[in-house]
Amino acid sequence: MAKFISLLKTIILLIFFGVSISSCVNLKAVNDYSTSSLSSIKKYEDLHYSFTIHCIERCNFELVRKFEIKRDNEATCDCEDFKKADQATSLIYQGIVGYFDGLSKLSNKDLTTYNLDGLKKSLNEGTFGDIKIEKEQVDSYSKIANILLRATTDAYRNKKIKSYIGDANEPIHKLLTSFQFIINDNLKKELDFKKEKLFSYYQELKKGKTLTDFENGKATTEYYHQLSDINTKQKQMEIFAKGLSKISEGHQKLYENRDKMTAEEIKQLIMTFSIDIKGMVSEFNKLNK
């Protein structure tokens, strides 16, 4: 009887150990997805372009076109709405980064070093330059901020990770969709505007017939160099937006399967999204060289 009880205990321990290992492995898969997503989202900072930069460049271009020399060129540019657009975009970005940083730490059982400073400002409704922030985005941002605030408490950390994912799925999806639209529609279109301005300017130079053949060749080379830079930036924006879409799709799958995250097929599913996201980061980086 003693041997039977001993054997039974061993079997129970092995089952418990097996379940623990499976859970741990799949939490690692969630951690890999969240850290890959975070790396992809932070590529926003490597775009090195914003609504304010566009405004200043547009202003400078007009000064060059008119051969005007200013002591302080930025002082002559009215970029207030563009700055507000960047501020609103930055808050959405900080909300998304904050969530995935929290998911990364939670899946690694570490929220002790989490910093909420980036979410202390409020996102407000309004139209700022070319972007419009509606109540839906404001509410989603507020929900994410509240979820992150709760997630830093010991009581919340003791709950399963599925609560964090479940509470955040709808608002994080809306923020990702809004962010994707701002980058791949609003900001990318500003570069379309820049291309049209460049084309008009160099066409004027050509029609003016004041340049020598050498100067015309140099101007043509300069035009195509600038056009190539703009096209590369737009491709980066497209890749970045696709990454956001893949992250959102991955989170939806995570949400739908949050009650069975220890299943092997869920691990494989999440790993597939992680691989796709990493591939997009690599594609983005290649264009940045």
Q: State the Cα–Cα distance between residues 105 and 110, nearest whole angstrom.
A: 5
Query: The pTM is what?
Result: 0.79
Which of 157, 149, 123 lies closest to 137, judged by CA?
Answer: 123
| Segment 272-282 mean pLDDT | 89
Which amino acid, residue 108? N
Highest mean pLDDT among 2-11, 70-79, 154-163: 70-79
Domain borders along the chain are 47-287
Residues 265, 81 contacting (CB under 8 angstroms)? no
- Strands 126-128 and 131-133 come out as antiparallel
Answer yes or no: is pLDDT of 102 > 90.
no
Within a 10 A sphere around the Cβ of 71, how many other Cβ atoms?
A: 6
Query: Residue 14 pLDDT > 70, yes or no?
Result: no
User: Which residues, other chains included, contact 261 with Cβ-Cβ below 8 Å and sequence gap of 6+?
Assistant: 23, 26, 27, 30, 161, 162, 254
- CB 35, CB 104: distance < 8 Å: yes
- Which DSSP string do the residues of 51-81 spell out, in sequence order? HHHHHHHHHHHHHHHTT---S-GGGG---HH
Instruction: Tell me which long-range contacts 117-120 makes (C-beta under 8 A, separation of at least 24).
Output: 118/94, 119/94, 119/95, 119/144, 119/145, 119/148
pLDDT score recorded for residue 10: 35
Residue-wise pLDDT for 190-205, tens only, equals: 999 999 989 888 888 8
Write the Ramachandran bin of 59: left for phi over 0, alpha for psi from -120 to 50, otherwise beta.
Answer: alpha
What residues are paired with 128 via a beta bridge? 131
Instruction: Quickly count: other Cβ atoms within 10 Å of residue 219's Cβ.
Output: 14
Q: What is the pLDDT of residues 222-271, one digit of tens each?
A: 989 999 999 999 999 999 999 999 999 999 988 988 877 665 767 777 88
